[in-house]
Chains A and B, each alone.
Chain A
């Protein structure tokens, strides 16, 4: 079923919308969540929550790219669950590694202007991604949106791990420069 037809089902408040969404994107959303949580029961809960959030959001929202819209929801829910379940054991998992990597990108800007709003930061990130080459952008998003490991990205793209690491390092440094230039405090 086409995305537009699925979205129409949501607007018609047809419960078939959930079923069709699950049929079409269930495995994908499962994958997105699993990359973060690595625990089947947690993933399942997040996937169900994703459907519920989508059901609550559509309407009024009419997603432009349903798959990415669902992935965003699933990622946010999964991150929150990760934080909740790992509160007592920080420092484990791919997410913790990603955070550690991203400390490279933390600008040295002082905080006199206050912490940037999430949306402001997202706007900067969008402009930053726009400025990257497609190769580097895909690697960056795979790593920090989908939280794939370096090895998984390398396998996925058919390149060496060292290349992926180098691309990520350069991207993080470039992001840091951009945040500092725009005096964004995070």
Chain B
């Protein structure tokens, strides 16, 4: 390795270590939230600007219905995370042109007035006009278009259904969903990712558009998948299952994880009351008192990454040798807050809550688990 590479590598270590500086300095220098060039997360509502939200909703009843459905959802065991894949705006815009053209062509062949055809894709119209008033205006006409169009022929966005719908919606419904990105490319605020998302009750692309490479690129099958259970679909978001699974017994958890763990004897008044896994990824045992006060938890996971999930900085860190294992102890106020180590193909961690472990106690636990 030459000197420059070596220096860069060492500088990289400094840069990486800057990520572990005290949080007070991070907060002190916090950056302003970018309003341009940065796509707002789909699930982020502009809570600081209710007026803007109201305006958006007024202009887009479909989006309003979706937004309400998204934010008010109380579905259990679902963490909402966007899985929308970013697609370059110009690709989306090009796809829109193709799709709107195909839409018009198909509907003209069916003797449906062109104006109706355009109206039937309100978000697309909104995008091309750089305005967001099309959906409301088009609402009644769209039904006609929907009835006329063959379901498998053209992706006809159905605004009335959308506005009324509190279920059965499609995540980022292909071409129309991309209208938002086209808007953003034209300098529109990126305040809401839900703004131009619209439902399509037919495949999202016409036969003509399917021939277009651009259109195909713009329509990601991953994001146009319809959830068979309409009550679990999110607009602009995808319902992602809670990664953790809880089990009543250790045996069940081990079966889910796909590997075993040696458990130490419970410490103090804490007993193993919860067994959880992220299947094939993490096995976790939580020790609590009978009244539910958590004492500590033990984790095991394949690989050599830190499994503790603890990103806090602790005043003291030290390595201890426990048999063949080198464990890292992070210490606060004289007690071990986190212990992490690896052996074989697995990494382990002990993280504490109410239970205060001395170093000796932590080492005994590590011995018992390893």
Contact = CB atoms under 8 A, between A and B. Distances in A.
Contacts of A61: 309-312, 351
B11 interface: yes
A35 B244 CA distance: 31
Contacts of A67: 27, 30
A64 B313 CA distance: 10
- Chain A, interface SS category: helix
Contacts of B317: 117, 119-120
A173 interface: no
Centre residue among A55, A99, A129 by max chain B CB count within 10 A: A99
A168 interface: no
A138 B41 CA distance: 27
Contact of A55 (B11, B27, B39, B243): B243
Contact of B21 (A18, A98, A122): A122
Nearest to B11: A102
B165 interface: no
A169 interface: no
A122 B83 contact: no
Given A39-B86, A67-B27, A55 B79 contact: yes
Contacts of A19: 43, 71, 80
A52 to B, nearest CB: 7
Contact of A103 (B10, B24, B79): B10
A65 interface: yes
Contact of B11 (A18, A47, A99, A142): A99
Interface stretch (B12-20, B153-161, B265-273): B12-20
B78 interface: yes
B44 A145 contact: no
Interface in A115-167: 115, 117-122, 125-126, 129, 134, 137-142, 144-146, 148, 156
A15 interface: yes
* Range of interface residues on B (Cβ < 8 Å): 35 or more
Centre residue among A42, A95, A120, A144 by max chain B CB count within 10 A: A144
A51 B81 contact: yes
Interface string B1-33: 000000110111111111111111111111111
A126 B19 CA distance: 11
A47 B318 CA distance: 31
A60 B297 contact: yes
Contact of A186 (B10, B21, B71, B244): B10
A68 B313 CA distance: 12
A15 B18 CA distance: 31
A7 interface: no
Contacts of B10: 103, 106, 186
Contacts of B44: 22-23, 26-27, 30
A32 to B, nearest CB: 7
Nearest to B330: A119
B8 A103 contact: yes
B228 interface: no
Interface of A: 13, 15, 18-19, 22-24, 26-32, 34-35, 39-44, 47-48, 51-53, 55-61, 63-65, 67-69, 71-73, 75-76, 79, 95, 98-103, 105-106, 115, 117-122, 125-126, 129, 134, 137-142, 144-146, 148, 156, 175, 186
Interface of B: 7-8, 10-34, 37-41, 43-45, 47, 71, 76-87, 242-244, 278, 282, 294, 296-297, 308-313, 317, 319, 330, 351-353
Given A75-B19, A102-B12, A141-B25, 14 more contacts: A26-B41, A30-B41, A55-B243, A60-B296, A65-B24, A68-B27, A69-B312, A72-B23, A99-B11, A102-B11, A103-B7, A138-B29, A186-B10, A186-B13
